[in-house]
Structure 1
Amino acid sequence: MNLGDLQLLEDSSWRVLLSAVVAVVLALVVHRVGAVVIWRITRGLPVAGMVARRCWRPSRVALPLIALQAVWQAAPDTLALISQVRHGNALLLLATLTWLALRAIDGVAQGIISQHSVEVEDNLNARRIHTQTRLLARTAGFMVLVAGLSLMLMTFPGARQLGASLLASAGVIGIVAGIAARPVFSNLIAGLQIALAQPLRIDDVLIVQGEWGRVEEITGTYVVLKIWDERRLVIPLQWFIENPFQNWTRNSAQIIGTVFVWVDYRMPLEPLRQAARQACEAAAEWDKRLCLLQVVEAGERSMQLRVLVTSGNSSLNWDLRCKVREALVDFMQREYPQFLPLMRAEVTGGVERPQGAGPTGQLPPHA
């Protein structure tokens, strides 16, 4: 290479660098102007506005990288290290575009969730939308992440086959049922099933393995159940597909609770019914649907009473049941203490035998 060629190559390098600087500056100006215009257009649109805010940072990086990639592709191949610069810029661009897609998905999810508050009395539809949106957003984010990683690997000649295989796997996740045997993908498919079929939602009240709690969080792999005593039960998503569980708020949060009381057979029932009714009417937790006292069992020593009471949700019903139970016990202690459950015995000729026994002290056959 003679002196003229070196001079020409040096001039080309300076022109390429100058073009790169100008391209970056123009890209930042375009981003700034475009961001202002988009924010004004989406000001009254919750979902689009949230997407615009979430995508501001990654787009600020992506536009200069796109401009630089155009400059590097137009540069002559004789420049030193130009192939390495093109490859590095392409990797950064793919990573930034993946980041941009993830932020856009998150913006859509947050925009939808913000329009449906769960801080209302009837939040069944809002909880359904929250659950579906979060699970679908996490699934879409996982797919985008796998696709981005695959495309980055495919830029390396030695890893192109691995990248193609990984990208093919990402497209097969939702189609091939056999891939669900793998733990990660099984939870992913379980998340899609839960999002579409809705057996449980955010803030649902569940009974899982004898534990009572509310669904606090649903991730892409597990569900966090907040137990009433502030503990957290972490359960894999696949468990809810394969095992039965109780959902107390599947269609409505309203619930019927029971209060059991044991009393003597001589206890009159009408005063207890009135006391139960007064206890329900005095409790703010009662929703005025049902307050019913019934005899549900007649044992050999006492009878069992059941009081059915209703509330708007399970937490209120628990407090209502406690209040009714305390009111009935207090009423009997004050008004009818002699009719609390007793162990009767009959003394005949100095020999104590249970009431109802024969002369020999033996119980009759029908007893």
Structure 2
Amino acid sequence: MPHLLTALLVVVAATGATIAIVEFLHWMLARYGRRSELAADLARTAHYPFLATVTVFAIQQAIRAAAGEFPGRGPVLHLLVILFIAGFAWLVAALVLVLEDAALARWRTDVPDNLKRRRFKTQVVILRRVTVAAIVILTLGVVLMTFPGIRALGASVLASAGLISVVAALAAQSTLGNVFAGLQLAFSDAVRVDDVVVVEGEWGRIEELTLTYVAVQIWDDRRLLLPTSYFTTKPFQNWTRTGSAVLGTAELDVDWATEIEPLRTELRAVCEGSQLWDGRVCVLQVTDAVGGMVRLRALVSAADAGALFDLRCLVRERLVTYVWQNQRASLPRVRADVTSPGSAPLQPAPRPEADGDISNDGRVFSGGLDGESRGNQFAGPDTPVVSRR
């Protein structure tokens, strides 16, 4: 009993002294954190793991040094060793989170050109998950090795490890495939966090990328969850692979009597009067003329996918309004031309302007620096690059 009472007093004294010292250090670090974001994050994230680890270690050393022999001394010390291992693993995981936050704080995502930051964030998140999983596995292994009986069984466990690994690999084939696919996505830049993608016919943003699944935030705030192996085995569209600027179209069906140049002028006025347009592409072309109607395609550009969607809707609205107010005869119609045998022949239509006289607003792969550059990208390797003007 005297030894047990001594042990309790030692535990109480060690616990009180340790808590007082740790809380004082935490107070000093929090005060310094007013000037340093790293110190503030360290005081906020690592406080409780550090307190638990240091307290358990102080109790263990106090019992070993001053408690003497008492009933159950061996199991108590063994339990303290296990708790210290768990607390130390918790502290290491907390420090990993602090380092991740410190690394990510150097890069911003609320800027137009954030490709490097999104790539770095994706890689850091994946590495953090792998590191935390490795810490948990190693901690369990170290805890198990503190039991003498398990150490004695080590030889037999190693002998059967080959068979067990084969069975486990077959049972977890799909899960392991997703894990390796997640690592591949993190370091291949095929897709990153905050990338705008089109998958399964849905347009959305990569909200979360883990080792096993990818969460896509669809434009209407739904979430589409896909296994990571989907992005390594099936095709998908990545609208922000190398940049956020994209092109989009707005199509109209009009009558053959439509005058095209006034519509081009109206399209140019709409684009130049809108902040959604990034100043790169503003083109109106006739892409089809069958079935009694003429199809017009307005091709415009914007800095990102969200602005492009709104700009396409604006262009479509303004062109429809312009046709209704100024070229009402150009509305789609179905006509039949019935002529008598003695009627005068139709007069030939005037010849269209020469290609050199067509404005740049009627070209996509020629005319202007942007059009010439786009046309050269799609020229074959043996095709001489010449000016199309």
| Shorter-chain TM band | 0.7 to 0.9
Give 2:272's aligned amino acid: E
Q: State the alpha-carbon separation in 2 of the partners of residues 180 and 206 from structure 1.
A: 32
State whether structure 2 residue 317 is matched by structure 1 residue 326: yes
Aligned 8 A contact 2:3 2:69 in 1: no
Partner-residue secondary structure (3-state), 2:275: coil
Q: What RMSD in Å do the two structures reach over aligned CA positions?
A: 3.0
Aligned 8 A contact 1:48 1:108 in 2: no
Q: State the alpha-carbon separation in 2 of the partners of residues 200 and 150 from structure 1.
A: 35
Q: State the alpha-carbon separation in 2 of the partners of residues 328 and 112 from structure 1.
A: 48
1:272 aligns with 263
Aligned 8 A contact 1:179 1:185 in 2: no
What does residue range 1-367 of structure 1 map to in structure 2 within 5 Å? 10-39=1-30, 44-47=35-38, 49-74=40-65, 78-160=69-151, 182-347=173-338
Distance 1:279 1:253, change over 3 A: same
Give 1:108's aligned amino acid: L
Q: State the alpha-carbon separation in 2 of the partners of residues 17 and 296 from structure 1.
A: 88
Distance 1:244 1:229, change over 3 A: same
Aligned 8 A contact 1:179 1:186 in 2: no
Partner-residue secondary structure (3-state), 2:42: helix
Q: How much identity, in percent, do the aligned residues show?
A: 35
Distance 1:231 1:112, change over 3 A: same
TM-score, normalised relative to structure 1: 0.80
Q: State the alpha-carbon separation in 2 of the partners of residues 152 and 282 from structure 1.
A: 68
Q: State the alpha-carbon separation in 2 of the partners of residues 216 and 118 from structure 1.
A: 13
- The offset of 1:319, in angstroms, is 0.8
Aligned 8 A contact 1:180 1:186 in 2: no
Q: State the alpha-carbon separation in 2 of the partners of residues 165 and 196 from structure 1.
A: 35
- The offset of 1:89, in angstroms, is 1.2
1:130-173 Cα offsets, whole Å, 9 max, x none, are 222222111211111121122222223444558x979xx9xxx9
Deviates more, 1:239-248 or 1:72-81: 72-81
Q: State the alpha-carbon separation in 1 of the partners of residues 318 and 37 from structure 2.
A: 50
Write out the 4+ residue segments of structure 1 that deviate beyond 6 Å after TM superposition: none
Give 1:197's aligned amino acid: S
* Consecutive unaligned residues in structure 1, runs of 5 or more: 1-9, 350-367
Give 1:98's aligned amino acid: A
Q: State the alpha-carbon separation in 1 of the partners of residues 171 and 32 from structure 2.
A: 43
Give 2:212's aligned amino acid: T
Partner-residue secondary structure (3-state), 1:308: strand
TM-score, normalised relative to structure 2: 0.76
1:90-134 Cα offsets, whole Å, 9 max, x none, are 222222222222222222222333343322333323322222222
Aligned residues, how many? Answer: 332
Q: State the alpha-carbon separation in 2 of the partners of residues 221 and 32 from structure 1.
A: 39
Distance 1:319 1:165, change over 3 A: farther
- The offset of 1:278, in angstroms, is 1.2
